[in-house]
A and B are shown apart, each in its own frame.
Chain A
Amino acid sequence: MRTSGLRPSLIFAILASLGFLVVVSWQSWAGNTVTLDSLLVATIAGLSVGSLYAISATGLVVVYTTTGTFNFAHGGIGVFSAFLYWELAENKDGIGLPRLFALILVVLVVAPAIGVFLDLILMRRLRTADLVVQLMVTVGLMVFLLTLTGQLWQADQARSVGFFWEGQGFFIGEFKVTWHRYMVIVVAAAIALLLRLLLYRTRIGVAMRAVVDNRELTALNGARPGMLSSFAWALGSSLAALAGILIAPEVQFSPANLNDVMLIAAIAAAALGQLRSLPLTVVGGLLIGLLQQHNAQWLSHGADWPFTRLAIAPIVLFLVVLALPQARLEVGRVATNLRPVERTTNWAEGAFGSVALIVVAIVLANGWLDFGVWDPGPWNQIALNNGIAAMVIALIGLSLVPLTGWAGQINFAPLAFAGFGAFLFLKLAGESGNALWIPVVGLLCAPLGAIVALFAARLSGLYLALLSLAFALLMAKLVYPHPKIFPTHTFADLSVGSYTLDSRYRFFLALIIVFAVMMFALVLLRRSRFGRRWVAMQDSQAAAATIGVNVILTKVIVYATSAALAGMAGVFWAISKNSIDSGRDFELLANFEIVLLMAAAGLAMPAAALFLSFRFVIEALGGRLDEAGSFGPLVWFLDSFLAKFGPGLLAIGMVVNQRGAVFEMGKGFAPLLPWRRDARRELALERERGRVREIGGLGLTEPFTGEALLEIDHELGVVDDITPAEGYRHAVHPEVADV
């Protein structure tokens, strides 16, 4: 067995972490007296919370190692279960089940049922899907579950989940340790032990691990792979539910907060276990719990660092991902799917699209088509604001096209990059709004992208996604909330010389034009040698390297490009909002929504970024209909259902439509264009294929037609007369075979 031993990067990471810890502790020492009792109590509290993280994280690891799916919805399942538990046991107006009974009911019945259900309808189809699709579907599921929980248990009343044993406990010196916390440690230890026994000492556990190695062989041995994956999902959901219910008393009980606490800590702990080692995962969970509690007990970071408590898990995640050995990274996940071949938009089509957008802007500007937009009624203001928000988000979405769509570098942190642009613009242009600074901001954002690229260069796939997640959280919880970054400020209207975009309407038109220009630039970029290299790199880094592509440099360039785009978009974003609310604007869910909608629309197509306007268009439409009256159910559908659940559902929908909605729409539309002979041929071929599945394993994306096969065979001399070999005939024309 290969042992990794103490590699230089690991030693460096450990030393850097310790150094960081010492410096932070030195700087922020709160001055509390250290006694044995207080030390012990903080440690017990840390172990208790850490045990819950460990339970949650082991669930994540069990599902990942058994099914190959990294489940971002893990926290969401825990959150839903915790609220269900509240309804059953804690709700004063509810049915008031005994706590223990409700706990058992949710953890051992409802949660496993949810897990099996998810496996049957969603997760099994993801087994061979692209990693991006896999991640988007589970992130979409997470968003859906959080929205569902938020809708079922609206924030109109304060809820809390009580401790077991009513908060009674025992005393160490003057400090009380609750039985709840104490028992949580015992329960977690028991679960860790049982899981270990299950996975290594029972046949079903061994089979669960065997499926990861070789699913086909597992079936050939007589085990049922489908049942094994359902069992894993049931187990994972159960653990998520248990962790969610037991963590709930410790935190502010809201869906988003509980999810943040559970999911990020679980991911960080799982990453420490390299997503497969249960003992290390448990250690990771305990470590995070201890760091959090000791931080709270001994350190005080002052008002400038308001969210340090929430930053501990992301810091651990960040350091762990950086220190992981490279060779292990792809374990458990083999990409078996071929990405669809996408035709590259040519410059004429790109120009056509951009010009069309600009024409729309000109028509609107001159009032040639009167939508009543000059009329200052309330709806128009809403529509305009929604339009602006939509275009701004679309601009930010564009930054994902080269990075994720073409180069395959998953990025969950588009707003972190956008925020950097907003920050630079505030520093450079102050509150003047001089638009000439925007290109400079773009240029200055590029180095930030390059720095992230250097961290990301040795990572790929899932770990890259996790790194970007940690990056998004660190920027959101540590960097941006610092008052020096975004002091009290207001962004002025944009201006060039004496011309000022002094009305919202002008700003909106300017955004359309900026988007059109950027979209066209991206179309050209895709056709340039950079674009080709990025796509080649996504297909195969090794192959790209062997034909002379400098992979590291290529990555640096694509990250720099994306960061520049996002940074410039960030300027418009900041101006559209007048000021940045650093406590809320960089939330993880806001980042996720952009990435999810972009993926559901089609990451590889610049025009798909317009799809990000989805929610804003729906909301505006709902508002308009509401104003017009008598559309009650439709308004409810748009406002309460589609606008809220849409992003999550669309991403979940990727399970059936993996190429993205815009791609599919384009496919339907393309054959109508006179110059798209290729699209018509493709359509004809597809009709001939009928219901036949696409070929997965043969390395072909375009199946040969029966005629083509015959032609090849004839040329090779395999069939010597012209009469078709009936087998080949059969594949295409079953009726001929019977002749």
Chain B
Amino acid sequence: MTTAAPLLELRGVRAGYGIIDVLHGVDLVLQPGEVLALLGPNGAGKSTTLAVASGQIEPSSGQLLIGGREVNGARPDALARSGVCLVPEGRGIFPNLTVTENLRMMTFAGTSLSAIQEKAYELFPRLEERRRQLAGTLSGGEQQMLAMARAMATDPALLMLDELSMGLAPIIVDELYSQVATLARTGLSILIVEQFAKTVLGVADTAAIMLHGRVTRTGRPDEIAEELTAAYLGIESGGHQ
């Protein structure tokens, strides 16, 4: 492990919606260049963790650190411009904008439109064919490619992917994850949230299990894979925390 400050760190983060806390003290560390898979059943708090890390929800207590600096309360757009890229669950695209306009929206993070177009069309040639089409009329896989284009083309410092595979055909999921693997090889730090672990454990360096608003187990992907079934059935493992 590196001695530099972790790229993303959550220390004892509690957060939620109104009176209901969803996260009850989340501790999570993502080292620079690492791919971390965050797994867990429905309602465990995975997406809320990403919402905290991207600035959409402010922790009610605990610390959110990015690059070693505490950024509690930073607005999501400010974090986005400083290189935090979250591709949210369920197609992170604007359905009533064209593909080109969707790409133009990605320029707020600092990359020029021509650079984004070049990169996106190189990776996903199908998007170029459909550049004048409204994004909402693309197929599910194409929409996810468009969403991923932001991750691929804007050169973020931290990438977070929420349920990339949701509702997509297995062959498309494989294609998307091969792109993630490519990104990982460039040294990008990636936090991936998934409910179904098989594909994601193939690209992850580290995996963590989340249950009832806490990270209950962190370890190598192969170790975690063994414990997953138990975790999904709601049985807390007695493993070291």
Chain A residues near B (Cβ < 8 Å): 1, 200, 203, 206-207, 209-210, 212-214, 216-225, 689, 692-698, 703-704, 709, 718, 725-728, 730-732
The answer to whether B21 has its CB under 8 Å from any CB of chain A is yes
Chain B residues whose CB sits within 8 angstroms of the CB of A725 once the complex forms = 24, 212
The answer to whether B137 has its CB under 8 Å from any CB of chain A is yes
Listed by A's residue number, 15 A-B pairs whose Cβ atoms lie within 8 Å are A1-B133, A200-B101, A207-B105, A210-B105, A212-B96, A213-B96, A216-B56, A218-B77, A219-B77, A220-B54, A220-B76, A221-B150, A222-B108, A695-B20, A730-B14
The answer to whether B215 has its CB under 8 Å from any CB of chain A is no
Chain B residues near A (Cβ < 8 Å): 14, 16-21, 24-25, 54, 56, 75-77, 80-81, 85-86, 88, 92-97, 101, 104-110, 133-134, 137, 150, 212-214, 234
**A730 CA to B234 CA in the complex, in Å?**
22
B212 touches A210 (CB 8 A): no
B180 → chain A closest CB, angstroms: 18
B19 touches A732 (CB 8 A): yes
Contact of A689 with B94 at beta-carbon distance under 8 Å, contacts A206-B105, A216-B76 already known:
no
A1 touches B94 (CB 8 A): no
Residue in chain B with minimal CB distance to A211? B94
A695 touches B17 (CB 8 A): yes
**A227 CA to B117 CA in the complex, in Å?**
26
**A210 CA to B135 CA in the complex, in Å?**
12
**A693 CA to B77 CA in the complex, in Å?**
23
A222 touches B18 (CB 8 A): no
Chain B residues whose CB sits within 8 angstroms of the CB of A220 once the complex forms = 54, 56, 76-77, 80, 85-86, 88, 92
Partner of B14, one of A221, A695, A727: A727
Partner of B24, one of A206, A221, A697, A726: A726
A231 → chain B closest CB, angstroms: 14
Partner of B212, one of A207, A698, A718, A732: A718
- Beyond A203-B107, A222-B108, A727-B24: 5 further Cβ-contacts under 8 Å? A219-B77, A220-B86, A224-B75, A695-B17, A698-B20
Chain B residues whose CB sits within 8 angstroms of the CB of A224 once the complex forms = 75, 77
A695 touches B86 (CB 8 A): no
Q: Considering the complex of A and B, which 6 residue pairs feature the smallest CB-CB distances, nearest first?
A: A727-B24, A222-B108, A222-B80, A695-B18, A213-B94, A219-B76
Partner of B77, one of A210, A223, A709: A223
Residue in chain A with minimal CB distance to B55? A219
B108 touches A207 (CB 8 A): yes
Q: How many A-B residue pairs have CB under 8 A?
A: 115
Chain A residues whose CB sits within 8 angstroms of the CB of B214 once the complex forms = 727
Interface-centre pick from B14, B77, B92 (highest chain A CB count, 10 A): B77
B95 touches A217 (CB 8 A): no
A697 touches B137 (CB 8 A): no
Chain B residues whose CB sits within 8 angstroms of the CB of A1 once the complex forms = 133-134, 137
**A159 CA to B169 CA in the complex, in Å?**
70
Partner of A697, one of B14, B17, B106: B17
The secondary-structure label for the interface of chain B is mixed
Chain B residues whose CB sits within 8 angstroms of the CB of A217 once the complex forms = 88, 92-94
Chain B residues whose CB sits within 8 angstroms of the CB of A726 once the complex forms = 24
A313 → chain B closest CB, angstroms: 29
Contact of A206 with B77 at beta-carbon distance under 8 Å, contacts A1-B134, A693-B18, A694-B18 already known:
no
B77 touches A225 (CB 8 A): yes
Partner of B88, one of A209, A216, A693, A727: A216
A213 touches B97 (CB 8 A): yes
Residue in chain B with minimal CB distance to A703? B19
Contact of A221 with B109 at beta-carbon distance under 8 Å, contacts A692-B18, A725-B24, A727-B14 already known:
yes
A730 touches B150 (CB 8 A): no
B17 touches A222 (CB 8 A): no
**A224 CA to B54 CA in the complex, in Å?**
14
Residue in chain A with minimal CB distance to B56? A216
Chain B residues whose CB sits within 8 angstroms of the CB of A692 once the complex forms = 18-19
B24 → chain A closest CB, angstroms: 3
**A220 CA to B110 CA in the complex, in Å?**
13
**A448 CA to B93 CA in the complex, in Å?**
46
B211 → chain A closest CB, angstroms: 10
B182 → chain A closest CB, angstroms: 22
B163 → chain A closest CB, angstroms: 15
Chain B residues whose CB sits within 8 angstroms of the CB of A697 once the complex forms = 17
A222 touches B94 (CB 8 A): no
Contact of A219 with B75 at beta-carbon distance under 8 Å, contacts A727-B14, A727-B25, A730-B14 already known:
yes
Contact of A731 with B97 at beta-carbon distance under 8 Å, contacts A216-B88, A220-B76 already known:
no
**A698 CA to B92 CA in the complex, in Å?**
21
Residue in chain B with minimal CB distance to A713? B212
**A221 CA to B92 CA in the complex, in Å?**
10
**A212 CA to B95 CA in the complex, in Å?**
10
A45 → chain B closest CB, angstroms: 37
Interface-centre pick from A213, A692, A728 (highest chain B CB count, 10 A): A213
Chain B residues whose CB sits within 8 angstroms of the CB of A728 once the complex forms = 21, 24
A688 → chain B closest CB, angstroms: 9
Partner of A730, one of B24, B109, B137: B24
B24 touches A203 (CB 8 A): no
A200 → chain B closest CB, angstroms: 8
Chain B residues whose CB sits within 8 angstroms of the CB of A200 once the complex forms = 101
Interface-centre pick from A214, A220, A696, A730 (highest chain B CB count, 10 A): A220
**A728 CA to B18 CA in the complex, in Å?**
13
Chain A residues whose CB sits within 8 angstroms of the CB of B137 once the complex forms = 1
Partner of B108, one of A221, A696, A709: A221
B80 touches A219 (CB 8 A): yes
A704 touches B96 (CB 8 A): no
Contact of A210 with B94 at beta-carbon distance under 8 Å, contacts A203-B108, A221-B150, A695-B19 already known:
yes
B101 touches A222 (CB 8 A): no
B235 → chain A closest CB, angstroms: 10
Chain A residues whose CB sits within 8 angstroms of the CB of B14 once the complex forms = 727, 730
B21 touches A730 (CB 8 A): yes
**A55 CA to B186 CA in the complex, in Å?**
51
B105 touches A221 (CB 8 A): yes
A400 → chain B closest CB, angstroms: 32
Contact of A689 with B77 at beta-carbon distance under 8 Å, contacts A221-B105, A223-B105 already known:
no
A698 touches B17 (CB 8 A): yes
**A728 CA to B24 CA in the complex, in Å?**
8
Chain B residues whose CB sits within 8 angstroms of the CB of A210 once the complex forms = 94, 97, 101, 105
